[in-house]
Amino acid sequence: MLFLKNPPTFLFFTGKGGVGKTSLSCATAIRLVRLGKKVLLVSTDPASNVGQVFSQEIGNKITAISTVPGLFALEIDPQQAAREYRERIIGPVRGALPEAVVSGIEEQLSGACTTEIAAFDEFTALLTDATLTADYDHILFDTAPTGHTIRLLQLSGAWSGFIEKNPEGASCLGPLAGLEKQRQRYAEAVKALSDPERTRLILVARAQKTTLAEVARTHQELAATGLTRQNLVINGVLSAEEAAYDALAAAIRHREQAAIAGMPAALRNLPVDQLPLKAFNMVGVEALCSLLSDQDESAPAGNGAPPAKCADLPQLSALVEAIAGRGRGLIMMMGKGGVGKTTLAVAVAVALAERGLPVHLTTSDPAAHLSDTLAGSLRHLEVSRIDPEVETERYRRHVLDAKGQDLDAEGRAMLEEDLRSPCTEEIAVFQAFSRVLREADKQFVVMDTAP
């Protein structure tokens, strides 16, 4: 395994949802422990299932994995982190400032932006705590799906600049004047991330055209932030032996090999590993150990046995008929990354449009591929995407034109500074989402949402 050759202190596993980041990070942690290393495995994914993989409660504290001596794990709970972060900011001023001021700070700290900042705050502590890093040989991060990961890793530089330019301002972090001491920690976190001797990024993908295209974008965007030491792992590749006697397996194998052969040029110069598809779930130590082996093991005991009777569920066509009968409305596809939200959203939208019904298909997922999945146009079907960068700039221009026209130069400069806050993006995307929802009164709106 090339990605395990001379591993540095920090290993990051990232990629589109559902590609196997958690399984691979857990399997890698076990491999390193069995080489005599002491390892900390950290999940920054809001939908973390590291605890399920090891069949053990973990939570937001460093916990020893009972079945793997030498392995410790931590699941950063974004909501709990946000509550603790808010209390650290508000606690010292509660009772010392007027209630109206305290309420204003609480309002500033109530959004999703603060939740992300709070999780990032814990994340940077792990990177910069010398005592903690000295206690472990390796710290592995099972990160969130791609779009969230990119924002998470870019925040340190973005907030460092924002704090520097707004020393007297306030944002979803709280009063910026009190954050000077955190700026150094953020800068140290960026330094650790950008150091190829300390950090390696493992891009995890499936042998699929859209997934490889997404991971190529991740590679370029993260390389631009300084994370240059990267490896690619293509997970779950169907073997030639499995495809030899089954037409469906042969078709899947052909499609996978075509995707690998045609992978984006940006990925070709990276060290690449391929992991074979296994016939059982990656749950438990025995199953995880097999992931990094090319041997044809049998399924671990009790793992992968078929259910006694499959549930008798209705077909998707029945659901489409029921939706079509309503004449208009909003259909939202939700779920963990990689489960097929985009595919189902397109399938439902196309089925409605083929019935002659007006349909608006859109997405709020930064990693969505509606155009690739749809691969063409269809009468009665309109397709759009809520682009955070475009919507943020549109919102900034609107606010500056509406509220900045009567301000003097100093006032306009202050307004522009306020609009540089990352919270502006949250508001802008919500407004774009609201515009799409209003159209549900006259047609069907099918939304492929973020994980």
Residues 6+ positions from 107 with CB-CB distance below 8 Å: none
Per-residue model confidence as pLDDT tens digits over 168-203: 444 444 444 445 556 677 678 778 888 899 999 999
Rounded CA-CA distance 85/54 in Å is: 29
**Closest C-alpha to 278, from 239, 234, 324, 233:** 239
For residue 24, give the nearest of 298, 294, 236 by alpha carbon.
Answer: 236
- Considering the domain architecture, whether residues 331 and 236 belong to the same structural domain is answered as no
Position 287 in a domain:
yes
Exposure string of 55-94, with b = 16+ CB inside 10 Å and e = fewer, is: eeebeeebbebeebebbbbbbbbbebbbeebbeebbeeee
Asked if residue 223 and residue 146 are part of one domain, the reply reads: yes
Instruction: Report how far residue 223's alpha carbon sits from residue 232's, in angstroms, rounded to the nearest whole number.
Output: 13
Tokens 């001797």 correspond to 197
Please give the Cα distance from 313 to 305 (Å, whole number): 20
Per the domain annotation, does 119 fall within a domain? yes
Distance between CA atoms of 291 and 13, rounded to whole angstroms? 15
pLDDT at 161: 53
Output phi, psi for 274, to 5 deg.
-120, 135
Quick count: other Cβ atoms within 10 Å of Cβ 255? 14
In a shared domain, residues 153 and 210 = yes
Give, to the nearest 10 degrees, the angle between helix 180-194 and helix 146-165: 140
Query: CA-CA distance, 319 to 229, in Å (whole number)?
Result: 47
Q: Are residues 176 and 88 in the same domain?
A: yes
Closest to 225 in 3D by CA, of 128, 151, 309: 151
Alpha-carbon distance 421 to 190, whole Å?
20
Q: CA dist 432 to 40, 112, 147, 377, 407, Å?
A: 40, 16, 18, 23, 27
| DSSP string over 37-67 | --EEEEE--TT--HHHHTTS---SS-EE-TT
Which of 291, 308, 331 is the endpoint of a domain?
291
Q: What is the pLDDT of residues 411-425, one digit of tens each?
A: 677 677 667 665 677
- End-of-domain residue from the set 224, 256, 291: 291
Q: Is residue 264 part of a domain?
A: yes
Residue 237 belongs to what H/E stretch? strand 230-237
Q: What domain range includes position 238? A: 10-291
| Domain final position from 275, 291, 307 | 291
Q: Is residue 116 part of a domain?
A: yes
Q: Identify whether 301 is part of a domain.
A: no
Sheet of 359-363: strands edge to edge? 329-333, 444-448, 359-363, 381-383
Q: Residues of 221-241 as b/e, b for ≥16 C-beta within 10 angstroms?
A: ebeeebbebbbbbbbbbbeee
**113 lies in some domain:** yes
Residue 395, phi then psi, degrees to nearest 5:
-65, -40
Residues 238 and 152 in one domain: yes
User: Domain check: are 68 and 200 in the same one?
Assistant: yes
φ, ψ for residue 30 (rounded to 5)?
-65, -45
Whole-angstrom distance between the N-terminal and C-terminal Cα of the chain?
A: 30
Domain membership of residue 223 (yes or no) is yes
At 119, is the secondary structure helix, strand, or coil?
helix
What pLDDT does residue 29 have? 95
Same domain, 257 and 324: no
How buried is 416 (Cβ within 10 angstroms: 0-12 exposed, 13-18 middle, 19+ buried)? Answer: middle
Query: Going edge to edge, which strands form the sheet with 39-43?
Result: 63-64, 71-75, 39-43, 138-142, 10-14, 199-206, 230-237, 272-276
CA distance 23 to 50: 8
**Domain identity same for 256 and 371:** no
Residues 320 and 429 both lie in one domain: yes
Task: Show the tokens assigned to 62.
Answer: 């460093």
Q: Enumerate the β-bridge partners of residue 205.
A: 234
Q: Does 54 reside within a domain?
A: yes
Co-location of 247 and 112 in the same domain: yes
Domain CATH number, residue 346: 3.40.50.300
Regions of the chain with pLDDT less than 70: 46-47, 108, 111-113, 116-117, 144-183, 186, 294-311, 336-338, 365-376, 411, 414, 417-418, 420-423, 439-442, 450-451
pLDDT for 140: 95
pLDDT at 274: 94
d(CA 153, CA 149): 6
Based on the structure, what is the number of domains in the chain?
Answer: 2
**Residue 176: which of 89, 104, 92, 101 has the closest Cα?**
89
Please check whether residues 240 and 371 belong to one and the same domain. no
Q: Using alpha carbons only, give the angle 24, 28, 30 rounded to the nearest 5 degrees.
A: 120
Q: Are 44 and 312 in contact (CB under 8 A)?
A: no
Q: Supply the DSSP string of 340-394, one letter for each residue.
A: SHHHHHHHHHHHHHHTT--EEEEE--TT--HHHHH-S--TTEEE----HHHHHHH
Same domain, 285 and 326: no
Give the model's pLDDT for residue 64: 95
Residue 345 CA to residue 447 CA, distance in Å, equals 7
